[in-house]
Structure 1
Amino acid sequence: MLSVYLSGEIHTDWRDEIAQGADGMGIVFNAPVTDHGASDDCGVNILGAEDDKYWHDHKGAMVNAIRTRKGIEEADVVVVRFGDKYKQWNAAFDAGYAAALGKSLIILQPAEHDHALKEVNAAALAVARTPDQVVAILRYVVEGTLPG
């Protein structure tokens, strides 16, 4: 059973596309909490309110980091998606953490991010443009077969 952690952008359905494409391959997927509101507010919801937005966000980041670290550490492969809409500093951090742990790293990004992510991409074993390409990589890893 291959364990894959799907990190990064949370505003599109790329995770579902990969999971559906990999159905039947014996892959277990894990991911951060993708409900933006829950992710932002988990710290204050669990640990108590904060008047200062910095501490509000800090509490949430710390609680989310517990899940993220566990997911990356337990994964065989880490896929990090950089989307079009937002600067995803957390995704870059996840990619660096995965690389530091020696995880097999796949970056999923549009071509216009190539220059900005050149150091991140240099640490990856593959840079994909579409969820279908990620599925094809996973199929090759698990089954040794090529698309088509």
Structure 2
Amino acid sequence: MLTVYLSGEIHTDWRQQIMHGAAALDLPITFTSAVTDHETSDAAGDVLGQESQPFWRDHKSAKVNAIRTKTLLEKCDVAVIRFGDKYKQWNAAFDAGYCAALGKPYITLHAEDLIHPLKEVDGSAMAWAQTAEQVVEVLKYITSKQ
């Protein structure tokens, strides 16, 4: 069983496309992910006490989220890191760097127009995909018994 961590933008259904594609092919994969509900993620540190300044609320929540992300990235076999065009995904770039530091293979998923800004991130990736279907095909290949 392969464990695949899905990192990156939360505004499109790319995660569902990959999970459905893998399920349709009956691939032996368990998927994990960051919390994809923006409000839940922003409130992750609220259990540690209220903050009067937004910076400190974000700071606490980022650290609580980092516990989850760090643990799941360390446990995964492969990560898929998605960069969308609407927002800058600094967290995804950080996840890619962490994977590179761990020697953890990762696949980047982004459009062709992001090649230049992501050249260093792609430089350490084991594959660059432009579609969720391409990611599924790579996962199919690496889980095949041949």
Class of the TM-score when normalised by the shorter of the 2 chains: over 0.9
Paired letter, 1:7: S
1:84 deviates by 1.2
Paired letter, 1:8: G
What value does the CA root-mean-square deviation take over the aligned residues?
Answer: 1.0
The equivalent residue for 2:6 is 6
2:40 corresponds, among 21, 38, 41, to 38
Name the CA distance, whole Å, in 2 between partners of 1:144 and 1:12.
32
Unaligned 5+ runs, structure 1? none
Alignment pair present for 1:87 and 2:110? no
Matches within 5 A, 1:1-148: 1-23=1-23, 24-44=26-46, 46-143=47-144
Paired letter, 2:40: A
Name the CA distance, whole Å, in 1 between partners of 2:94 and 2:102.
12
Name the CA distance, whole Å, in 1 between partners of 2:18 and 2:30.
11
Distance 1:144 1:109, change over 3 A: farther
Name the CA distance, whole Å, in 1 between partners of 2:66 and 2:36.
14
Q: How many residue pairs were aligned?
A: 144
Name the CA distance, whole Å, in 2 between partners of 1:8 and 1:60.
17
Unaligned 5+ runs, structure 2? none
The percentage of aligned residue pairs carrying the same residue is 57
Name the CA distance, whole Å, in 2 between partners of 1:11 and 1:47.
28
Name the CA distance, whole Å, in 2 between partners of 1:144 and 1:36.
38
1:87 deviates by 0.4
Please, what TM-score do these two structures have when normalized by structure 1? 0.95
Regions of 4+ moved over 6 Å:
none
